[in-house]
């Protein structure tokens, strides 16, 4: 197997809170191959966004990465000095945030915000003429206009000087994608990129992302609470619950043949248009408080299959069929082989 | 486009000034005490004929509506009347005193911002650090200390005990300065008068600190809290995700946004600096408008009070206009 683009080993991110330490991410192992689209699926507060912020080392204080490694192209990002980390952010790894309006800086024109990402990394010096002749500025600007057109912002020249509030939600998200793309990253972290948008716009945005993946070969981690979206868009899916990955596998396999009761629950929550009056089965209960989580499975209170043994066993991700793993007591006995493949 | 809007705003100010003029005119005359009586009390034995003559001269014997009409009519022509006591046109007196007040306010504002900005920014970036707690305690002190007390303490320390700075006035008496604008610092620069520049800055220092302390404290606190809020925002996180250094994040992305609420507060403080310095002008023997107004009120010098209050109102309106215009540059979401 080729060297993975990104490999997380035992990633653990902790937020010290007054009521106790919260492991937003605990012992996560993941791999993304170059050009792969990986979906991380789970409810709000399951730690999926924290995974992305951990990769960029942008976890807000006092939160911090407590353990694990983040290998990107063979280098451990956790051990990188700040300056080298900055050279990677927005350049080799960029991130698309969830809420476009609050993520664009309200006081700068959109074009300038896209351009800044490029300027920070000294991109677009590709002009054949030396600086005073070629006009670095116009060259940079041309690249910005190209990217704006690429992500589907019509009339980029006219919108270059527009402010974020003058854009619609869909256009704002396109602008955010343009910021992320302008340096041609090899890894794109997308944190619920379509959640704040209308369904029709959602489809357009996902189309833009897919094109980025195909044409630039960028690997993508798509964080979403929408299992349907992930199934349609991703190569592989990791389902997270309470800071842990509870199931992982190829997208189609996970959706067609879910192994973990939580994944099954998520699937049952998806409304389907084709079937008439199909029942939606909500998962009972709520996401648990991550502070002072008891040992054993965190899903017990909401699981219909829970039994006494669930409380005591230290569950591991175990393989059931090719490339598909689940963390559940159901697969603790009589399994073929243990996983935690990276450890 | 913007110029037209600004002109529009200036035109809007006219009815406000008119309203201020009427209110001040009426209230000044409602205060107990007769200006002619007060004048006569100083003059000694005077016949009732002379009193009547004075009243007629000042139109005080006519109905209040007539007096108001004269006042407004003359004011529209730029004539604010004659001071009863100083026997000079009010405009001349104010023009003579106003530069001193503005210079003091400008000095205080400059020092206040010079202190408040680094403190506000660093306190927010290093929230809950020792520096943050220390500077916020000082800010609390700055707000709570009354100006006259701080002024006296500063005089005692820096002028009396250490003899570093002068006690009173705007300039050393032995230095001559050719007056052009009335702002001594500006005049000494224009006339390339080094000693006068040095002396006027030294004189400006203590009263500026005294007047600016509270402003610095208020601005530092507002800036700190808006910086704290902005630093938690998504767009600051995006700036970091783009690869911006922390200093660029703070100075460009965060500060630009935190300035928006801060400028509002600074604008309000400008009014305080111009209009709230009577006591400090008295403590430091500063020949500004504040002391003049206090004297005018004691003497029931109606035209002078009216004129001074009009000037205060005008500067306040002007300061607000400047803030509003600045706002449109700072916040693209707002138009004039």
pLDDT at site A107: 93
CB pairs under 8 A between A and B: 72
pLDDT at residue A126 above 60?
A: no
Considering only alpha carbons, which residue of chain B is nearest residue A88?
B243
Coil, strand or helix: which one is A91? coil
| Token pair of B9 as six digits | 């705003």
Identify which has the larger pLDDT, B291 or A274. Answer: B291
Rounded CA separation A145/A153 (Å): 9
Rounded CA separation A145/A172 (Å): 15
Residue B308 lies in a domain: yes
- What's B40's DSSP letter? H
Residue A49 lies in a domain: yes
Q: Do A105 and B238 touch (CB under 8 A)?
A: yes
pLDDT at residue A340 above 50?
A: no
Considering only alpha carbons, which residue of chain B is nearest residue A96?
B238
What ipTM score was computed for the predicted complex, to two decimals? 0.86
Residue A20 lies in a domain: yes
Band (A201; pLDDT cuts 50, 70, 90): confident
pLDDT at site A337: 45
pLDDT at site A339: 47
- Output the tens digit of pLDDT for each of chain B's 336 residues: 778 888 888 888 889 888 988 998 888 888 877 777 777 766 566 677 877 887 887 788 888 888 888 888 888 888 888 888 888 999 999 999 999 999 999 999 999 999 999 999 999 999 889 999 999 998 888 888 888 899 999 999 999 999 999 988 888 888 888 888 889 999 999 998 889 999 999 999 999 999 999 999 999 999 999 999 999 999 999 999 999 999 999 999 999 999 999 998 998 888 888 887 888 998 999 998 988 888 888 888 888 998 988 888 888 888 888 888 888 888 888 776
Residue A33 lies in a domain: yes
Q: Are B305 and B245 within 8 A, CB to CB?
A: no
Q: Do A102 and B240 touch (CB under 8 A)?
A: no
> Strand locations in B109-170, DSSP E?
none
Q: Are A98 and A191 within 8 A, CB to CB?
A: yes
Q: Do B235 and A106 touch (CB under 8 A)?
A: yes
CA–centroid distance for A247 within its chain: 16
**A49 contacts in B (CB within 8 Å)?**
none
- A156-178: average pLDDT: 92
pLDDT at site B198: 92
| Token pair of A9 as six digits | 């080993």
Q: Are A120 and A90 within 8 A, CB to CB?
A: yes
Residue B288 lies in a domain: yes
The Cα of B323 is separated from the nearest Cα of chain A by a number of Å equal to 17
Rounded CA separation B277/B280 (Å): 5
Rounded CA separation A61/A57 (Å): 11
Q: Do A165 and B333 touch (CB under 8 A)?
A: yes
What angle in degrees, to the nearest 10, is found between the helix axes of B255-275 and B302-330? Answer: 180
Range of the domain at A119: 6-241
The Cα of B114 is separated from the nearest Cα of chain A by a number of Å equal to 24
* Mutation target vs A (from B233, B243, B251; most A CBs, 10 A cutoff): B243
| Token pair of B236 as six digits | 């600051």
The answer to whether B233 contacts chain A (CB < 8 Å) is yes
**B243 contacts in A (CB within 8 Å)?**
86-91, 117, 120-121
| Token pair of A284 as six digits | 């009972």
- What's B204's DSSP letter? H
Count the domains in chain A: 1
Q: Which CATH number fits the domain that encloses residue A114?
A: 3.40.50.300
The answer to whether B247 contacts chain A (CB < 8 Å) is no
Residue A320 lies in a domain: no
Residue A156 lies in a domain: yes
Q: Say what percent of chain A tops pLDDT 70.
A: 89
Smallest Cβ–Cβ distance between B243 and the set A91, A97, A105 belongs to A91
Nearest Cα neighbor of A224 from A184, A191, A252 is A191
Peptide bond into A60 cis (omega under 30): no
**B244 contacts in A (CB within 8 Å)?**
86, 90, 116, 120
Identify which has the larger pLDDT, A139 or A183. Answer: A183
Rounded CA separation A205/B160 (Å): 72
Q: Where are the alpha helices (DSSP H) in A226-304?
A: 227-233, 251-256, 261-269
Q: Say what percent of chain A tops pLDDT 90.
A: 44
- What's B89's DSSP letter? B
Smallest Cβ–Cβ distance between B242 and the set A90, A102, A109 belongs to A90
**B333 contacts in A (CB within 8 Å)?**
106, 163, 165
User: Hey, which residues 250-289 in chain B have their CB within 8 Å of chain A?
Assistant: 253, 256-257, 260
Smallest Cβ–Cβ distance between A107 and the set B234, B244, B257 belongs to B257
Considering only alpha carbons, which residue of chain B is nearest residue A87?
B243
Rounded CA separation A206/A90 (Å): 20
| Residues in contact with A109: Cβ distance below 8 Å, sequence separation at least 6, in sequence order | A160, A161, A162, A163, B332
Rounded CA separation A88/A95 (Å): 11
| Token pair of B11 as six digits | 């035109």
Nearest Cα neighbor of B308 from B64, B32, B81 is B81
pLDDT at site A125: 52
Q: Which CATH number fits the domain that encloses residue B189?
A: 1.10.3720.10
Tell me which H or E stretch contains A190: strand A187-191
What angle in degrees, to the nearest 10, is found between the helix axes of A136-150 and A110-120? Answer: 110
Long-range CB contacts for residues A118-126, cutoff 8 Å, separation at least 24? A118/A143, A118/A144, A118/A182, A118/A183, A120/A90, A120/A91, A120/B242, A120/B243, A120/B244, A121/A87, A121/A90, A121/A91, A121/A183, A121/B243, A123/A91, A123/A182, A123/A183
**Neighbour-count burial for B170-194, b at 16+ CB within 10 Å, e otherwise:** bbbeeeebeeeeebbbbbbeeeebe
Q: What is the pLDDT of residues A65-111, one digit of tens each?
A: 999 999 999 899 999 999 999 999 999 999 999 888 899 999 999 99
| Token pair of B312 as six digits | 């205060």
Q: Do A163 and B332 touch (CB under 8 A)?
A: yes
CA–centroid distance for B229 within its chain: 30
Expressed in angstroms, the distance from the first to the final Cα of chain B is: 10
Q: What is the pLDDT of residues B262-305, one digit of tens each?
A: 998 998 888 888 887 888 998 999 998 988 888 888 888 888 99
Identify which has the larger pLDDT, A192 or B39. Answer: A192
Residue B149 lies in a domain: yes
The Cα of B267 is separated from the nearest Cα of chain A by a number of Å equal to 20
Range of the domain at B224: 90-330
Residue A252 lies in a domain: no
Nearest Cα neighbor of B172 from B198, B208, B207, B205 is B198
């Amino acid at each position: 197997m080729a060297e993975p683009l990104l490999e997380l080993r035992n990633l653990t991110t902790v937020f010290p809170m007054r009521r106790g330490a919260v492991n937003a991410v605990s012992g996560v192992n993941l791999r993304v191959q170059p050009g792969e689209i990986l979906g991380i699926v789970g409810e709000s507060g399951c730690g999926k966004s924290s995974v992305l912020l951990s990769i960029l080392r942008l976890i807000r204080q006092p939160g911090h990465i407590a353990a694990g490694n983040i290998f990107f192209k063979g280098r451990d990002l956790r051990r990188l000095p700040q300056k080298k980390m900055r050279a990677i952010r927005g350049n080799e790894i960029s991130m698309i945030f969830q809420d476009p309006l609050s993520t664009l800086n309200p006081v700068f024109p959109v074009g300038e915000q896209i351009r800044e990402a490029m300027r920070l990394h000294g991109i677009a010096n590709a002009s054949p003429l030396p600086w005073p002749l070629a006009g670095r500025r116009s060259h940079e600007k041309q690249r910005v206009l190209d990217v704006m057109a690429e992500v589907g912002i019509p009339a980029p020249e006219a919108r270059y000087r527009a402010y974020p509030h003058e854009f619609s939600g869909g256009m704002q998200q396109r602008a955010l994608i343009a910021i992320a793309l302008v340096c041609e990253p090899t890894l794109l972290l997308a944190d619920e990129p379509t959640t704040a948008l209308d369904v029709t716009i959602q489809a357009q945005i996902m189309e833009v992302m897919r094109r980025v993946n195909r044409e630039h070969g960028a690997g993508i981690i798509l964080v979403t609470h929408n299992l349907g979206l992930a199934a349609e868009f991703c190569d592989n899916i990791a389902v997270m619950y309470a800071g842990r990955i509870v199931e992982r596998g190829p997208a189609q396999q996970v959706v067609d043949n879910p192994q973990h009761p939580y994944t099954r629950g998520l699937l049952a929550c998806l409304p389907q248009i084709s079937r008439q009056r199909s029942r939606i089965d909500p998962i009972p209960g709520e996401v648990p408080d991550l502070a002072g989580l008891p040992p054993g499975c965190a899903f017990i209170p909401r699981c219909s299959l829970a039994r006494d043994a669930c409380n005591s066993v230290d569950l591991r991700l175990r393989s059931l069929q090719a490339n598909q793993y689940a963390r559940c007591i159901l697969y603790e006995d009589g399994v073929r082989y243990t996983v935690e493949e990276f450890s | 486009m913007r110029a037209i809007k600004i002109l529009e705003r200036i035109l809007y100010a006219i009815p406000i000034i008119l309203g201020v003029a009427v209110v001040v005119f009426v209230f000044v005359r409602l205060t107990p005490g007769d200006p002619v009586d007060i004048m006569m009390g100083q003059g000694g034995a005077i016949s009732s004929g002379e009193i009547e003559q004075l009243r007629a001269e000042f139109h005080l014997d006519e109905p209040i509506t007539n007096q108001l009409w004269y006042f407004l009519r003359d004011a529209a022509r730029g004539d604010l009347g004659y001071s009863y006591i100083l026997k000079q046109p009010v405009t001349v007196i104010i023009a003579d005193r106003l530069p001193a007040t503005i210079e003091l306010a400008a000095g205080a504002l400059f020092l206040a911002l010079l202190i408040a900005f680094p403190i506000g920014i660093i306190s927010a970036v290093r929230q809950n650090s020792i520096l943050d707690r220390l500077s916020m305690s000082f800010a609390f002190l700055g707000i709570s200390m009354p100006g006259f007390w701080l002024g006296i303490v500063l005089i005692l320390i820096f002028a009396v005990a250490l003899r570093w700075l002068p006690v009173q006035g705007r300039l050393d008496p032995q230095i001559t300065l050719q007056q052009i604008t009335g702002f001594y610092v500006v005049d000494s620069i224009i006339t390339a008068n080094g000693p006068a520049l040095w002396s006027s800055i030294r004189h400006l220092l203590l009263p500026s600190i005294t007047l600016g302390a509270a402003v610095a404290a208020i601005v530092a606190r507002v800036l700190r809290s808006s910086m704290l809020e902005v630093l938690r925002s998504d767009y600051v996180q995006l700036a970091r995700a783009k690869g911006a250094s922390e200093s660029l994040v703070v100075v460009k992305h965060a500060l630009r946004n935190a300035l928006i609420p801060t400028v509002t507060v600074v604008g309000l403080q400008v009014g305080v600096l111009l209009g709230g310095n009577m006591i400090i002008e008295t403590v430091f023997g500063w020949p500004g408008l504040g002391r003049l107004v206090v004297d005018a009120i004691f003497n029931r010098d109606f035209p002078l009070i009216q004129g001074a209050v009009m000037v205060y109102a005008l500067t306040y309106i002007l300061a607000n206009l400047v803030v509003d215009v600045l706002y449109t540059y700072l916040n693209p979401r707002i138009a004039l």
